[in-house]
Structure 1
């Protein structure tokens, strides 16, 4: 079902182009972004967990190995590494390791990557002549944060062990849970060996605090078409496993983000995770951390992965410029 979601979403949006343009004008946002928000409300991006049966079904799914869909291979050229099928790569546009994006995908730590992850990453790879490396980490609720950190650390060290790969050529990226993970991971890498840190990081709608206790979330919740604070809080607690939900390995907003590479955060104000992105921005100003926050009014969660909307195209153009200017 997760691979049909992209097609369903696009079909719903296509059917909705008869939507009154005046509504979009009144809301001061693009018509397509308004349509996509309505479509996401209708299609329920995240499966609800309302019963023991729902939970057991998702638990069983998290125990299954990931298989890269054939249509993703054919359409975008992604391949599983022959020596480690838990790492997905796209190397069609880059063969000199001069520009690498090490990407951790979102999905509340419970879900596998979906079509829009691959479409966005293919676009960035083509625009940047970059290589994409994406570890498919073990999923909650069957697996927990320590296992995820171990797997991604091993994947990153495997990448660095390749000839010609240097940390200064690597950009960390991630969306939602993956964005939060990348911040936690950088804090961990700094403490292990600062020489392992990448050149910079770009976090898309990052999940920085799985406790979801920021009081500003309540005011945003009615505006968010995708996320429900109570459900993602539950998912975050299960992901934490033996760790406290406030452990920086789980919720990096409670950690120290000093002496990290430059970080760019992309966030929309109709995303409940915007509350903590804004709080992180304030912490960065207070502690002089190298963080730049790009705030998009009325944009939903991980809007950058939806390049059919102009605001997403704008954000991707900004990301390309950030990475190119860093060279």
Structure 2
């Protein structure tokens, strides 16, 4: 189904409608989605109160954000601090990195980076020869868009200007996808600097979670729920409106950005954000590299399913292409 055209890049939320989220995909991916639904994982997003309960548990027993021990056997891993952020550098062993990647993890701004993210980082280092920079950015409610977007833009600027040979990929997943796009917009407006490519995986781009098409997808989404998303988005927005471009980059200027790739699945309630981004980019004169996976859930490129493996291979190829072309 061809999506209807969204409004202009600085207009109100458009009406791009996703295709029906019918069951599809390989047997393994269907089984995993069913298992996720049965596990009740998305209960944390069932209400604002449950989001606050989850944040409270994280405060009492903070989750670790450091890399798994096995990563150090295949890559050089170090940690530094940029302001209050721990920042991990993961680089190839015994050879110079061919490309740089700023990796901004997902977790709806209330969860630390998880093992599946580190697995993708490992693959980028070992298969694409990438030097990955992975910040453990401050989570909501202390970490807000007003604080995190400028800090991410500064990290990206440093990679572009001081990284040596090779290009720079800006890669964000879920909430990190929204942070990545907002940082790219800020850096473009501030200095004109651009990464070589932007890659967004299941990005959360409109934190108001107000698209009318999301209500139809929500019952099929095994991971996310709209009430919790709206509350997490409100916390991350801080004193700003949820539709402020720094919070929700879908409402920002989308022209003049680097080449952009998007990965999304039709069982992801945030699929509407990716679809709307595609239409707005086209309206702004861009031609995004858009990957739609029928029947796949939020963050499917990080999952151990055939569709996830294919998406990860494509992300590695995109990163290698930047290495070959240079800055």
- Are the structure 2 counterparts of residues 92 and 98 from structure 1 closer, same or farther at C-alpha, using a change threshold of 3 Å? closer
Give the equivalent residue in structure 2 for 1:248. 245
- Are the structure 2 counterparts of residues 53 and 43 from structure 1 closer, same or farther at C-alpha, using a change threshold of 3 Å? closer
1:211 aligns with 2:246: no
Give, in angstroms, the shift of residue 160 of structure 1.
4.8
Deviations for 1:94-145, whole angstroms, at most 9, x for unmatched residues? 7534301111001001110011111122112211111111111100023211
The answer to which structure, 1 or 2, has the higher relative contact order (CA under 8 A, 6+ apart) is 2
Find 1:315's aligned residue among 302, 311, 314.
311
Give the equivalent residue in structure 2 for 1:268. 265
- Are the structure 2 counterparts of residues 52 and 311 from structure 1 closer, same or farther at C-alpha, using a change threshold of 3 Å? closer
* Runs of 5+ unmatched residues, structure 2: 1-21
Give, in angstroms, the shift of residue 157 of structure 1.
4.2
Find 2:168's aligned residue among 167, 170, 174.
170
Moved more, 216-225 or 50-59: 50-59
Give the secondary-structure state (helix, strand or coil) at the position aligned to 1:201. strand
- Are the structure 2 counterparts of residues 29 and 109 from structure 1 closer, same or farther at C-alpha, using a change threshold of 3 Å? same
Find 1:237's aligned residue among 231, 234, 237.
234
Determine if contact 2:65/2:136 at 8 Å carries over to the other structure: no
Q: TM-score, normalised by structure 2?
A: 0.82
Give the equivalent residue in structure 2 for 1:34. 30
Determine if contact 2:51/2:231 at 8 Å carries over to the other structure: no
- Are the structure 2 counterparts of residues 67 and 76 from structure 1 closer, same or farther at C-alpha, using a change threshold of 3 Å? farther
Determine if contact 1:62/1:110 at 8 Å carries over to the other structure: no
Q: Please, what is the CA RMSD of the aligned residues?
A: 2.7
Moved more, 130-139 or 281-290: 281-290
* Runs of 5+ unmatched residues, structure 1: 1-25
Q: How many pairs does the alignment contain?
A: 298
Q: TM-score, normalised by structure 1?
A: 0.82
* Larger relative helix fraction: 1
User: Distance between the aligned counterparts of 2:67 and 2:316, measured in 1?
Assistant: 27
User: Distance between the aligned counterparts of 2:53 and 2:290, measured in 1?
Assistant: 38
Give the equivalent residue in structure 2 for 1:92. 92
Give, in angstroms, the shift of residue 55 of structure 1.
1.8
Give the secondary-structure state (helix, strand or coil) at the position aligned to 1:91. strand
Give the equivalent residue in structure 1 for 2:220. 223
Determine if contact 1:62/1:140 at 8 Å carries over to the other structure: no
Moved more, 32-41 or 169-178: 32-41
Within 5 Å, which residues of 2 pair with 1:99-248?
Answer: 99-160=99-160, 162=162, 164-165=163-164, 169-194=167-192, 196-248=193-245
